[in-house]
Structure 1
Amino acid sequence: MIQVGKWQIDIVSGGRFLHDGGVLFGIVPKSIWQTVQPADSQNLVPLAMNCVLARSDSHCVLIDTGHGSKLSPLDRKSHGLLPGWPLLDELAGLGVTPQQVDHVVLSHLHWDHSGGATSKVNGSIQSTFPSAQYVVNRQEWADATSGQVERSGGYMPADFLPLDESGQLRLVDHLEEVVPGIQVLQTGGHTLGHQAVLVESKGNGLIYLGDIGPTSHHIRKLWCTSYDLDLIRTREVKKQLFDFAAQNSYRVVWNHDVDVPVSRIAVHPKREYLVEI
């Protein structure tokens, strides 16, 4: 548990999965990235889905939802998912029910971030958190629902369309406040509407990077994923967020890092940045 002023922060697991290392590290040669993230015989590396639960006296906010429970057995096997739904299990372990979550902020709408936003109940898809307002970037929603393969091919509509149908969807823009003390930052880069999330209170803060910085190994400015739609933008915004976090001694959340889910960042004169546990 981390205290950020009035906010109690818990890192909760949305699941773990296996992913191709070449996709995770993009143009970085395997001879380099495997020294920090070894792959198995199929070139797969283990990744986490680190979500954030932020609680105050007034609000219970969940940032990202992991893989959820809707994937078919074949899809679960292909992604190396373990049985069960760890997000709901971990929330229950913290004494939090789905009904108590009042806001769900989604960094973007890829399955490993928004899959748990909805659930299949008695054959129908409905929101997992019935009392929550779901916060999605306006550009992200437009791209995900565009019907254009170039923009919407990476999304699974069952993860998010029911949120609009239930009236729980809230579309936001850059620097919009979700609740007092929690703000979204449209970063672009990974997707055009990708957003990071800033939690601040009493001079302290935490930044949920989403897939702008999927693991602590991506602290290197040029290390980005092959999925990034705008590679230059990812590199630019990484520097902005890392500089901001370092200058203010804010923690950052590495949402796919199995070993280092959260850290601080320090500026280094020769190596750009360092991860400070």
Structure 2
Amino acid sequence: MKIYPIEAGNFKLDGGAMFGVVPKTIWSKTNPADANNLIDIAARCMLIEDGNRLTLIDTGMGTKQSEKFFSYYSLWGDHSLDKSLAQHGFHRDDITDVFMTHLHFDHCGGSVNRTADGEGFEVAFKNAKFWTNENHWQWATQPNAREKASFLHENIIPMQESGQLHFIQRPDTDFGFSNEMGFNIFFADGHTEKQMLPHIQYGDKTIVFCADLLATAGHIPIPYVMGYDTRPLLTMGEKTKFLTAAADHNYYLWLEHDAHNPIVTVEHTEKGIRLKEVFRLEDILI
């Protein structure tokens, strides 16, 4: 097995929204904001090469939205999904599976492109199966008012119309094995219904793709919950369970949204679970 980072593009989000009730004087120590109160955010996807299977976890925002739409997110840097795939010798047509942790636009927007004439939409990975779960699909296609702006019809429905959409069955245990994907998955409902966190066994290491359960290293303390979460108290319980396991078993936590700390470990301390060590991607992905 080989794992590659796929940098799908950087953007910025409001620091207050990212940290909910935590005061700026506290969160700005780990996630400094610019003059507009915006903090750096990454869309660091993961590509897993395992035999004949090439699985992409999340796809970033994509490029099909309007200039006005992207202006809300202050895009920065020169990363792109296609450029990052090419750097590792791959093309989007090589992808066999696209695993979506959840269907918010910044996690699945790159799964769908505009058609050549610009009038319609088509899946961006023509040879891939697209994986979500049935409960989350229903949640995304019949969105509540709070999340409606994050579940964009054009990002989601073309997967179903293509016939390439598939549903993952939830394992019987919290960190159970998925027969469909070949790795363990932790399901979390606090951010959105049935978000999925893959646990990848990579040699003697377990690498966990944290998606939005743990957005950045600054979010490790249990009460540091994003304002975007639909059920913040539930998130706190899920973080406790997840981070306890991460500290107990020395999981390597792949931070999709942390622009500066790509992989971290955590440990038990007198103050609770805290950051243990930060790793560069090249330190882990041999």
- What is the TM-score normalised by the length of structure 2? 0.89
Determine the structure 2 residue equivalent to 1:225.
226
> Which whole-Å CA distance do the structure 1 matches of 2:83 and 2:203 have between them?
31
Judge conservation of contact 1:117–1:127 (CA < 8 Å) in 2.
yes
- CA offset digits 1:233-275 (Å, max 9, x no partner): 1111112221222222221111110111112222223342223
Whichever residue aligns with residue 90 of structure 2, its letter is V
> Which whole-Å CA distance do the structure 1 matches of 2:204 and 2:277 have between them?
19
CA RMSD of aligned residues (A): 1.9
> Which whole-Å CA distance do the structure 2 matches of 1:178 and 1:120 have between them?
32
TM-superposed CA distance for 1:151, in Å, is: 5.4
Judge conservation of contact 2:44–2:255 (CA < 8 Å) in 1.
yes
Determine the structure 2 residue equivalent to 1:242.
243
Determine the structure 1 residue equivalent to 2:201.
200
Say which is worse superposed, 60-69 or 140-149, in terms of deviation. Answer: 140-149
User: Do structure 1's residue 21 and structure 2's residue 15 form an aligned pair?
Assistant: yes
Matches within 5 A, 1:145-224: 145-146=141-142, 148-150=144-146, 152-175=148-171, 177=178, 179=180, 181-200=182-201, 203-224=204-225
Determine the structure 2 residue equivalent to 1:141.
137
> Which whole-Å CA distance do the structure 1 matches of 2:179 and 2:43 have between them?
22
Say which is worse superposed, 252-261 or 263-272, in terms of deviation. Answer: 263-272
Determine the structure 1 residue equivalent to 2:52.
58
> Which whole-Å CA distance do the structure 2 matches of 1:82 and 1:167 have between them?
34
> What count of residue pairs does the alignment treat as equivalent?
271
Determine the structure 1 residue equivalent to 2:281.
none
> Which whole-Å CA distance do the structure 2 matches of 1:214 and 1:186 have between them?
16
Unaligned runs of 5+ in 1: 1-6
Q: Structure 1 201/48 Cα, relative in aligned 2: closer, same or farther at 3 Å?
A: closer
> Which whole-Å CA distance do the structure 2 matches of 1:222 and 1:191 have between them?
17
Percent of counterpart pairs with the same letter? Answer: 28
Determine the structure 1 residue equivalent to 2:260.
259
- What is the TM-score normalised by the length of structure 1? 0.91
Say which is worse superposed, 183-192 or 222-231, in terms of deviation. Answer: 183-192
TM-superposed CA distance for 1:147, in Å, is: 5.3
> Which whole-Å CA distance do the structure 2 matches of 1:150 and 1:243 have between them?
30
Q: Structure 1 178/16 Cα, relative in aligned 2: closer, same or farther at 3 Å?
A: farther
Whichever residue aligns with residue 17 of structure 2, its letter is V
Structure 2 residue matching 1:144: 3-state secondary structure: helix
Structure 1 residue matching 2:208: 3-state secondary structure: strand
Q: Structure 1 238/204 Cα, relative in aligned 2: closer, same or farther at 3 Å?
A: same
